[in-house]
A and B are shown apart, each in its own frame.
Chain A
């Protein structure tokens, strides 16, 4: 098996992925970043990893920026419904099969694949998105029902060059391993923080009549219990949410690099074929 994975050049893209990248010029940099992924994470440190994530999100968000564009109906649509969806600030009108849930509309029709399909029946939380600022499960939400509501997916959390504080904290605290549940975890955490600010109670709140907005670790765990992580990254997830919630930052172990420094580091990776 060892000859199938050439460590000297890093993971290669498949033919399909290469073709995809050609069709989507905005993704070329991401492809580059993926090739040098291992080099980045080891030689460049977490700052570059964060940058790479950001690039990827920008590229994905850019796929759907034509306001008012009407997407053609996919074949074999039954009971079509015309739905104007407001996703990450942009409105897209789609003709959808009435059966289509928001999760599938995002992934299959809008190419917003940040939102993940896990169990597809409301048990894992991987598909969590925000609708009008509240966390919901997109796998059990018919796309037709969110017309006129503001949908925010993981792709819509960052502000230009700046990751959402929850995203940054997840990277800082290693709040993931395989990353599959991460978009759902992050959207859910953003929802949890808003709920806490409003003073919402939970199953572990001692006195539901007392008003408190402080989240203990037990509160964070209970409120995040709808998001399952099979890698078991829970300690990092709790730490990340705790930091954003409390506003008390602990030392960051990574930083963003830009401009000349970025070019220099990139040159070094390209020269360094041993990783």
Chain B
């Protein structure tokens, strides 16, 4: 690992200023991803600003919904009574990810900022536009079984690997951030991550030095009928090949409101407005869910080795909706 200066931030403003002042500085949360990447020589910060002791870990009721601190641990978030009762989809998504140890370490803000698991990104002997802009994409015509089927560019076909963000997107969550100047802004989760385009080195729309302070969840009508489905190579402790955050508001057997967000299929959580449109107003039935699944995957553009994700994605959408509506 390359040498770096370790700084413990005293407050959020100082932390944001410290990182903003040094283009090679990074925030340190739980460290579960950045330390791994530093050991692999993929991340090379020369300064880490430890923000874990800032008072940003509260989970509390706020304006009809719940506000979760950016530095609350994933495990505390998943198990908080307010989350389990009102947003079970979020609990399910968090506990589908990583291991007990990692969830005890990982912060909510850090979880949003986790980087791709593309093997070409991790392997410094390989070309990767995300790791080293201009070197090319090893996965585009390489081994791309775990890669994107939506929204990719010829510069990058990596996916966002997380689970939590998919549920947050389905729950209309908003990310609160604070810049070095003290300016605060609110970014809807769906606009937090971005598609690769020509600048895949940028995973999110955060500016350098902007610190995530909280994630706000609005009041939700999805608590009764939601489900997070994760499909992976083994039953536990693996990243998703495809995941689905499904949330329904049902009224007398008909769908009043719907959210369908797919994970591990694009450079960001992939919400399917087409599937949602196919669901709303219709009955909660397997037939209707199948139509929604067809709509969700209609625009998929698979690569050489991930064509299976299209059919898998359809079946996962149907299964998730069946579980959400308690038909399965």
Contacts and interface: CB of A to CB of B under 8 A. Distances in A.
Interface in A109-155: 120-122, 125, 128, 134-137, 140-142, 144-145
Contact of B31 (A142, A191, A223): A142
Interface in B84-106: 84-85, 88, 91-92, 95-96, 98-102, 104-105
A222 B236 contact: yes
A42 to B, nearest CB: 36
B32 A122 contact: yes
B301 interface: no
Interface size class of A (residues with CB under 8 A): 35 or more
Nearest to A195: B100
Given A81-B6, A226-B237, A142 B28 contact: yes
A79 B45 CA distance: 13
Contact of A98 (B6, B84, B98, B100): B6
B35 A226 contact: no
B35 A140 contact: yes
Given A145-B52, A225-B236, A99 B3 contact: yes
Nearest to A143: B6
A52 interface: no
Interface string A190-212: 01100100111111010011000
Contacts of A4: none
B4 A141 contact: no
B6 A201 contact: no
A78 interface: yes
B63 to A, nearest CB: 22
Interface string A75-108: 0001101000000000000000111010000000
A223 B100 contact: yes
Nearest to A138: B101
A141 B102 contact: no
A188 interface: yes
A201 B236 contact: no
B40 interface: yes
A78 B105 contact: no
Interface in B277-309: none
Nearest to B29: A145
Nearest to B95: A203
Contacts of A201: 78-79, 84, 91, 95
B84 A137 contact: no
Interface string A166-203: 00000000000000000000001001100100111111
B103 to A, nearest CB: 9
Contact of A198 (B50, B79, B88): B79
Nearest to A101: B35
B1 interface: yes
Contacts of B95: 201-203, 205, 208
Interface of B: 1, 3-6, 8, 28, 31-32, 35-36, 39-40, 48, 50, 52, 75, 78-79, 84-85, 88, 91-92, 95-96, 98-102, 104-105, 235-237
Given A135-B101, A188-B100, 8 more contacts: A98-B3, A136-B104, A137-B105, A140-B31, A140-B36, A141-B31, A144-B6, A222-B235
